[in-house]
Every structure is written in C-alpha cells, then in structure tokens.
Chain A
Amino acid sequence: MTGYADYLAGDPVILTAALTGGVHGKEANPNLPETPAEIGRAAAAAEAAGAAVVHVHARKDNGERSFATERFQAVDDAIREHADDVVIQHSTGGTGAPDDLRHQPLRTDPAPEMASLDMGPLNRYDHLTSENTRGLVDSLHAEMVERGVKPELEVFNDGHLNELHGLLERRDLADPVYATLICGPGTLTRPRPRNFLNLISNLPDGAAFNTLGFGRHQLPFAAMGVLFGGHVRVGLEDNVYYEAGELAESNAQLVERVAGLARELGRPAATPDDARELLGLRGRAE
C-alpha cells in the first residue's frame, strides 16, 4: 500500500500501540506502563480500543531498561493473561547495549510474531549514538528468519531508506516488506508532509508502511498515514500527551482516537487476524 488510491480502497488500517518504550517512563507520564502486569493490562485495553499489534520493550521494576529474554517472557506472559489474540512485536532497539543483548528479545517461547529492526544510526542526547551497524542489522534479521519473526523495518530518516534498499540487496525479505516511517526531531525525518510523501515514494515496490510521528506530530501523521494508504503507530512510547499540556490517560486513549479517525475516513481498524493476513505473519503459536 503506497498511496491515496490504496486509501480509497478502504482496506483496514493496522494500528500498533507502542505501550512503554525504553527511553522515558513514569517520570514523564505516570500512566505509562512499565511492569509486566501493567504492560499486560495496557495491551488488552489497547486491543479493545482497536490496536492489532502491541510494540513492547521490557523494563526492570524501577522502570530501567532490560534486554533479558526472561523479562520479555514475563511481559509476553502478562500480555497473554489479558489479551490472547493481539500480535506481539518486540523491540530489538537499545542505545548503548552490546550486540548480543540486542538478540535477547527474539528468544522468548514462543518467539514474537514481529520484531523491530532499526535501519541505521541515530543520535541520542548530546554524546550518544545508537549505531545499528549493517552487521548487527544482518545478524538480527538472520535470527528473525530462523525464528519466524516478521521484521518491522524502522526508518528514522531518509538515509535509512538507502539502508533498507541495501538490506534488500544483501538479504531475502519475505513479502510484504513492512517499514515504519518515523518523523520527528533530532535524527528523525523532519516532520513535514512533503518529507513524508517523499519517504513513501522511495519505498520498494510492494512495500507496506507504518506511520509514526513523535510527540505533537503523532496525531497529524496518523491522519496522513491513513489517507496515504499506510498503517499507523501511536502510544506512550512516542508521545505522552493527548493534547498540548494534557498528559494522555493511557495508551488505549491514544489508540481509540486514531481508530475513530480512521473509521470516519473510511478505513476500519484491522483485527489481529487482519494484520496477520496483510503482513504475512506466521500466526500465534497455540
């Protein structure tokens, strides 16, 4: 899906809820879920609001980052206690974490149906860079293939589109290629509609895309994603506000708003099974 004609077709829009993230936490918004139990309940509420996919990171009890398989397992188990159908997508991101830890989220039982794959470097704070070398990208992709995990290719800027095309030259990716186009501050694509359209027009033929605007750009980019035939990611990982000066009450609140917007624009929210079919996922392990 790569254009307005695809919007007119009225296909379901896959809503991904990025529930927790690994950068900010309850110090930014006390409603952000951090523990496995909180993430599990948030996943169920997000699914009820229209999310087909939940994108999760794992944290320690004090909110700090964890890359351990065991902690991702606890998150998945908690999600399955409350939401037995939603597609689980693990993050493999991790600024400053060694490469071997970046593989850990792929090793739960069962493996997640999807996992993120960052396409290249991005700056963090003033003195850090998340490197995401091609070597790491290839090794993560190889393990995803081995474990039946669909990669969600995270394109933080248009240079990362070159990296995506390079990945396709180096490795075989199952159809459809699924890329998240990320717009916002810093290393990200500058959040302007024409830049977003440029990203879409430079995707590989047949690719499907997911739309992610950071902070105040979350809602307008969600609307553009719906109109330009893409899918949409929202959630407290990317934006802690519902509107200017008002913290969001929950991930579900953000999902519900975009599900309503998509419905009004003629595209229903995809169910988890719709998402599995559209993205060619392996399906939930029983």
Chain B
Amino acid sequence: MTCPHLEYRDDDGRFDAPRAYCGAADRFVQAMRADVCNDRYDLDHATDCEIFRAHEREETDAEADES
C-alpha cells in the first residue's frame, strides 16, 4: 500500500511527467523518497518515512487534545 499522502502532480506543466508529491510536507519529494512513498522493494512509508511518522504523531496528538 502506498502512502496516503502521496499524489502525482505535474505542477501545471512545470514537469514533463507527473512527479511524486507529499501532501503531508506539501512539496515534491526526492526520487529516493518516492520509492519509500510507494513502498517499493523492502521500503515501508509507515516505518521508513519521518514525514509520515511525524504527521501521524501530530494527528494523534490533535485527537487527544480534542477528547
């Protein structure tokens, strides 16, 4: 399963082909990180990506604050 924050965008023609974009970090990601986003090889966004992990923590903290 790929990262739920992963999108592919061409940035209104800035790039010839749509590229990996991280909705959590709000930016295009590096080629190597895109393999993490896509869970390619033995990579796993849930354990290997600090952006995903930080976003999950923030959401958990926000939910705790509301409860």
Contacts and interface: CB of A to CB of B under 8 A. Distances in A.
Contacts of B43: 96, 128
Nearest to B18: A62
Nearest to A65: B31
B40 to A, nearest CB: 7
Instruction: Sort chain A's interface into a size bin.
Output: 20 to 34
Nearest to A35: B16
Contacts of B50: 125-127
Contacts of B27: 27
Contact of B48 (A24, A35, A63, A128): A128
A27 B19 CA distance: 9
Majority SS at the chain A contact face? loop
Interface in A220-269: none
Nearest to A20: B31
Contacts of B53: 127
Contacts of B36: 96, 125, 128
Interface string B19-41: 11000000111111111100011
A98 interface: yes
A8 to B, nearest CB: 41
A18 to B, nearest CB: 14
Interface in A36-64: 59, 61-64
A23 interface: yes
A65 B32 contact: yes
A95 B41 CA distance: 10
Contacts of A126: 50
A151 interface: no
Contact of A25 (B30, B35, B41, B48): B30
B29 A27 contact: yes
Contacts of A25: 19, 30-31
B60 interface: no
Contacts of B1: none
Q: Which 5 A-B pairs give the minimum distances between C-beta atoms? A: A27-B28, A126-B50, A62-B17, A96-B43, A23-B32
18 contacts: A23-B31, A25-B19, A25-B30, A27-B30, A35-B16, A59-B31, A61-B16, A62-B19, A65-B35, A97-B35, A101-B41, A124-B32, A125-B36, A125-B48, A125-B50, A126-B50, A127-B49, A128-B36
